Amino acid sequence: MQKTGFLPRIAMALAMTALVGACSSGATTAPSAAAPSAAAPSAAAPSAAAAAKTFADMTVGFIQTGSESGWRAANTASFKETATQKGITLKFYDAQNKLENQVSAFHQFNQDPSVNVIILAALDVTGYDDVLKEAKAAGKVVVLEDRRIDADPSMYYTYIGSDFINEGHEGAAAMCDLLKAFPADKHNVAEISGAVGASAAIDRAKGFREKMGDCGIPDPTSLGLSQTGNWGVPESKAVMEAFLKKTKNIQGVFAHNDEEAIGAIQAIKEAGLVPGKDIMVVGFDATADGFKSLISGEMGADIECNPLLAPQVYDAALKALNGDTSLPKWVPSQEGAFFAAQGKDALQAILATRKY
């Protein structure tokens, strides 16, 4: 689904007949602040005589963050199922959301002579310099999936993942549409952010703040209404409970993923308020649980983030193994947004077509 301009998204979505949640990645052009330059990937070109590598020649060391959300479960399934379909040997490592585990696994894969491709879903934007250097020296192909990192682009082949800053822009525009239900001086939004240090959280927060002024939303930090929910329901519910004990003068919640939005909704209801009427909630990911909250009207908007990245990532890694330097350093996912205002029937029809 194409990125929309800044016309009211609800109006745009309602004007569309069927929303297709298809996510495909186009070649990069204007990446976000963290965008690496389009330097040539680091993979060495094979000799002319060497036969082209196939997926059967690929052994992947995949370093996943953990299993913190529905998005993450769909992302893991994409890599496991696609590896089986393509005949790729996959060595999967779940880091249990610990950076030190990711670095240790990366080092192990660098030492493993059978591994020729390393794929990283980075928990943090920093902390990988030494293992990236080690991978380069060992001639491993490194592909970043899902999240960007603050590293020299020459240290990896490419990054395939979302433009989280644009997602933040979409979230702010959706929140401005939803807050039209309130007077202009009643646009207080609480933020339940993702894990500290994660590029998805850093950039969604940045994008939202770049556009929230369009409808006079004060910075949640300045209101003392910004805290991490660590991507999960229980912690986000506790954060929202604390916010509501502090003040009832909250008209919106900017939650960095669907689990955090659902936690906030639970707290709003237990405080005797009506989500979607008293407080407008915007989430990210557009998972099945997020869709259920849109259908109930408890969530007002859900900004899509595509977890089904494995086919593109494995294709990119195979290009690298065959010395293809045509890929840019960032291939952003094309994503859309969904709104409660589209109505129960339309949303249920879309949900029926989605894989996660």
And the tokens for 11?
């109006």
The one segment of 66-74, 169-177, 291-299, 323-331 that binds ligand GZL by CB under 6 A: 66-74
**By C-beta, is 116 or 230 nearer to ligand GZL?**
230
Q: How far apart are CA 144 and CA 157, in angstroms?
A: 8
* Alpha carbon 216 to chain centroid, angstroms: 26
Q: To the nearest whole angstrom, how small is the minimum distance from the Cβ of residue 72 to ligand GZL?
A: 5
Q: How far apart are CA 251 and CA 278, in angstroms?
A: 7
For residue 121, what is the enclosing H or E element?
none
68: contact with ligand GZL by CB under 6 A: yes
Contact pick of 227, 257, 312, 342 for ligand GZL (by CB under 6 A): 257
| Binding footprint of ligand GZL, residue count (CB under 6 A) | 13
Candidates 24-32, 41-49, 65-73, 100-108 — which segment interacts with ligand GZL by CB under 6 A? 65-73
Q: Is 72 in the site for ligand GZL (CB under 6 A)?
A: yes
With both helix axes pointing from N to C terminus, report the angle between 164-178 and 199-211 in degrees, rounded to the nearest 10. 40
Cβ pair 336, 284 in contact under 8 A: no
Show contacts of 271-276: CB within 8 Å, 24+ apart: 271/241, 271/244, 273/244, 273/248, 275/299, 276/300, 276/340
**Cβ distance to ligand GZL smaller for residue 308 or 321:** 308
Residue found by looking up tokens 């929202």 in the block:
240
110 scored as a contact of ligand GZL (CB under 6 A): no
Q: The tokens of 65 are what?
A: 């963050």
Closest to ligand GZL by CB, 115 vs 303, is 303
| Out of 9, 147, 187, 329, the residue judged to bind ligand GZL by CB under 6 A | 147
CB of 288 to ligand GZL, least distance (A): 13
Main-chain phi, psi angles of 344, to 5 degrees: -55, -50
Task: Give the one residue of 109, 157, 254, 284 binding ligand GZL; rule: CB under 6 A.
Answer: 284
Query: Segment 302-331, which members bind ligand GZL (CB under 6 A)?
Result: 305
Q: Count of CB atoms within 10 A of residue 10's CB? A: 20
CB of 161 to ligand GZL, least distance (A): 6
CB nearer ligand GZL, residue 24 or residue 325: 24
- Specify whether the CB–CB gap between 87 and 109 falls below 8 A: no
Contacting ligand GZL (CB under 6 A), which of 124, 177, 285, 302? Answer: 285
Q: How far is the CB of 299 from ligand GZL (least distance, A)?
A: 14
Distance in Å from the first CA to the final CA of the chain: 17
Q: Where are the beta strands (DSSP E) in 189-267?
A: 189-193, 226-228, 252-255
Among 231, 314, 339, 356, binds ligand GZL (CB under 6 A): 231
Return the SS3 of 116: coil
User: Rounded distance, CA 316 to CA 322, Å?
Assistant: 10
Residue 165 binds ligand GZL, judged by CB under 6 A: no
> Within 6-45, which residues bind ligand GZL (CB under 6 A)?
none
Stretch that binds ligand GZL, among 49-57, 69-77, 270-278, 317-325 (CB under 6 A): 69-77
Task: Say whether residue 298 binds ligand GZL (CB under 6 A).
Answer: no
Q: CA torsion, points 312, 316, 321, 322, in degrees to nearest 10?
A: 110
Supply the minimum distance, in Å, between the C-beta of residue 287 and ligand GZL: 8
**Interface ranges with ligand GZL (CB under 6 A):** 68-69, 71-72, 146-147, 162, 200, 231, 257, 284-285, 305
